[in-house]
Structure 1
Amino acid sequence: MKAIVQTEYGSPDVLNLQEVDKPIVTANGVLVRVRATSINAGDWHLMRGDPFISRLMFGGILKPKIQILGMDIAGQVEAVGKDVTQFQVGDEVYGDLSESGFGAFAEYVCATEAALAFKPTNISFEQAATVPCAALTALQGLRDCGQIKSGQKVLINGASGGVGSFAVQIAKAFGAEVTAVCSTNKMEMMKTLGADKIIDYTQTDVTKNGQQYDLILDAAAYRSVFDYRSMLKPDGIYVLIGGSISRLFQVLLFGSVISRIMGRKLKCLMAKPNRSDLLILKDLIEAEKIVPFIVGELVQNRIYNLSDVPEAIRQLEQRQVRGKIAISVWRAA
């Protein structure tokens, strides 16, 4: 099979399309013919081995232990192991492989049964492949960390990115009043996604808009968390889910101390892939409460293919991508 392989850390130039052995199905494994995948920030961090702690977490201090990256998949079950009970050959599935060995940047992958769920029936494989990692992060950040409730005022910083674009829609599905923070050229996108209010951060200092919120979901944490203190109601919650790696670890390690200093609840999400949440997202998509926002499907008038993964990661590293970038791996004839 074809796969995008890396044998050293570095820029997207270390990623190469190669012929490799097709995975062998394990007793509890599901062999999936990957129809589509998508790009996440975690892909470029693992590619570069930066921050260094990622090398400790996933193995490979000097060289990457994981040589085929990719978290998100959507495809069809090709074979199942003898202990698999949830799926059978031909099922259309999607999932997050970040706790199942990665490997989505390939024509086939063997995933654990727990990493997969049935694909939403009303969207394409390309759309489905953009959902798992980003939408799970948004859902768990809002529901589990943020304890979102209907009628609350929610601010989403970094609303036009992969996680943010799902967060806007999921918060609306929970019945919240959503304020989205983005740049000027992404405001129309926010209207499409259903944001109630939009703040253009290039024109307005969001921390000085005079409003207070029940929940702030920060998917673009590049400024001090203390800047948001006056924007939170006394019982409000600030949830950090993306942005600066240094800021992420600051909150992860010292969040409880910072919370006491701020006098507000401060949380940092470590998303946990699971089938039950994938099924919740499936229901929301089939109810048309969530629509994946894919941009950049064309590269010089052609669809992103597996060989385009290095270029797609290069674009994501520039932090200007709206929504998600989808990669078509196998396309129907």
Structure 2
Amino acid sequence: MDPTPPAGDRMRAVVSRSYGPPDRVEIEEIARPVPRAHEVLVRNRASVVTAAMVEARRGAAMARLYFGVTRPKWPVLGTNFAGTVEAVGGDVTRFAVGDRVTGVNVVGFAAHAEYVVAPEAGVIIRTPDRLSDIDAVAAFDGSVTALPFLRDRARIAPGQSILINGAAGAVGSAAVQLAKYYGARVTAVCSNANGEAVRALGADVVIDYAAEDFTDARDRYDVIFDAVGKSSFTRSRRALTRDGLFLATVPSPAILGWMAWTSRFGRRKAAIEFTGLAGQDEMAKNLVFLGALAESGALVPFIGRTDRMEDAALSHQYVESGHKRGSAVITFGHVVRQPAPR
């Protein structure tokens, strides 16, 4: 029998019970979850609002296929969380009350709340000492998406050239850092306002998209990673090397068609990774790897905005504007952006 929260055990959560604009996002008091035998209860301090969550809240056509055709199956959105273990199930051995943890809820979401339950064997690690809770959710926001694209699909290697379109976003800024970690030469495409910040993350060359179209330049790249879904294989292939690869993060009939075509014909390839459908074990291993990078300083957070949970609708507006810089963080309770003492 599933445990039932005792009467009075309540929490606040960011809830969206119908599809629509950002003002559909409200704060509600709901039942606080109770951990089962192999689960931990986390007092959540921070999460992020992602483009995918905005699409889910809006009720975009493709999102409805997963989140529910007429109304959301999961009114409490959010995947990334970071906080402190408040309670553990009877069979938990990896974590103890008081541990600082960060993770990703692969199934059921519900990270936009004051408390989160997560399976002990799920996508959860001890938070690196050098990261605050706010920094932790930001550091692993875009990186859990970027890593499978670059390491597994592109097999990025030292000396390769990669262009990252949308390099100032959550996924793009993580991709810049991961590509440098693997030894690639990185060209970053972003606004002029974000150029210096992206260069500080490791980009070798920065292109202002308002001043220059990278597809018209003479430079050729082994990999073009469109981290924001604003380019296409049709436009980008002329900027690829002879055996170059175009990676898309946003699914569309066009990219799926080109992926099928180029898998059989031609040398230049187009591909997409559905990272959200990866197995839990694979994602858990990736988070452990990314945690080690963050602890070493090779992966750092890039934050554009931080809001309290009461202002989550503003976070949704910010992400939906299309000009998001890095991660849009929301906090729960009293949070300071300060790592634990080392």
For normalisation by structure 2, the TM-score amounts to 0.89
CA distance in 2, matches of 1:134, 1:295: 13
* In the alignment, structure 1 residue 105 sits paired with structure 2 residue 108: no
Q: State the Cα RMSD in Å.
A: 1.7
* In the alignment, structure 1 residue 172 sits paired with structure 2 residue 180: yes
CA distance in 1, matches of 2:258, 2:237: 16
Residue by residue over 1:273-311, the C-alpha shift from the partner in whole angstroms, topping out at 9 and shown as x without a partner, is 6221111111111111111011223xxxxxx21111111
* In the alignment, structure 1 residue 211 sits paired with structure 2 residue 219: yes
Using the TM superposition, name which of 128-137 and 1-10 deviates more.
Answer: 128-137
Structure 1 counterpart of 2:107, one-letter code: S
Structure 2 counterpart of 1:109, one-letter code: V
Structure 2 counterpart of 1:266, one-letter code: A
Q: Which runs of 5+ in 2 are unaligned?
A: 1-10, 337-342
Q: Could you say what secondary structure the match of 1:325 adopts?
A: strand
* In the alignment, structure 1 residue 269 sits paired with structure 2 residue 273: yes
Q: How is 1:132-281 mapped onto 2 (pairs within 5 angstroms)?
A: 132-242=140-250, 248-252=252-256, 254-260=258-264, 263-271=267-275, 272=278, 274-281=283-290
- Deviation, structure 1 residue 253: 5.1
CA distance in 1, matches of 2:335, 2:186: 38
* In the alignment, structure 1 residue 125 sits paired with structure 2 residue 133: yes
* In the alignment, structure 1 residue 30 sits paired with structure 2 residue 33: no
Given that 1:163 and 1:219 are in contact with CA atoms closer than 8 Å, whether structure 2 keeps it comes out as yes
CA distance in 1, matches of 2:123, 2:225: 26
CA distance in 2, matches of 1:136, 1:45: 19
Residue by residue over 1:107-162, the C-alpha shift from the partner in whole angstroms, topping out at 9 and shown as x without a partner, is 00112221211111101100101133411111111101111001111110110101
CA distance in 2, matches of 1:5, 1:177: 42
Given that 1:135 and 1:167 are in contact with CA atoms closer than 8 Å, whether structure 2 keeps it comes out as yes
Structure 2 counterpart of 1:176, one-letter code: A
Structure 2 counterpart of 1:77, one-letter code: V
- Residue 302 of structure 2 corresponds to 293
Structure 1 counterpart of 2:301, one-letter code: P
* In the alignment, structure 1 residue 78 sits paired with structure 2 residue 81: no
Structure 2 counterpart of 1:100, one-letter code: V
Runs of 4+ in 1 over 6 A off after TM superposition: none
* In the alignment, structure 1 residue 315 sits paired with structure 2 residue 325: no
- Deviation, structure 1 residue 332: 5.2
Equivalent residue for 1:331, pick from 312, 334, 337: 334
Structure 2 counterpart of 1:287, one-letter code: S
CA distance in 2, matches of 1:191, 1:177: 12
Q: Could you say what secondary structure the match of 1:120 adopts?
A: coil
Structure 1 counterpart of 2:118, one-letter code: A
For normalisation by structure 1, the TM-score amounts to 0.91
Structure 2 counterpart of 1:328, one-letter code: T
Structure 1 counterpart of 2:334, one-letter code: R
Q: Which runs of 5+ in 1 are unaligned?
A: 298-303
- Deviation, structure 1 residue 259: 4.9
- Deviation, structure 1 residue 28: 2.3
Given that 1:36 and 1:327 are in contact with CA atoms closer than 8 Å, whether structure 2 keeps it comes out as yes
Q: Could you say what secondary structure the match of 1:37 adopts?
A: strand
Using the TM superposition, name which of 306-315 and 271-280 deviates more.
Answer: 271-280
CA distance in 1, matches of 2:58, 2:200: 34
Given that 1:77 and 1:89 are in contact with CA atoms closer than 8 Å, whether structure 2 keeps it comes out as yes
CA distance in 2, matches of 1:321, 1:225: 23
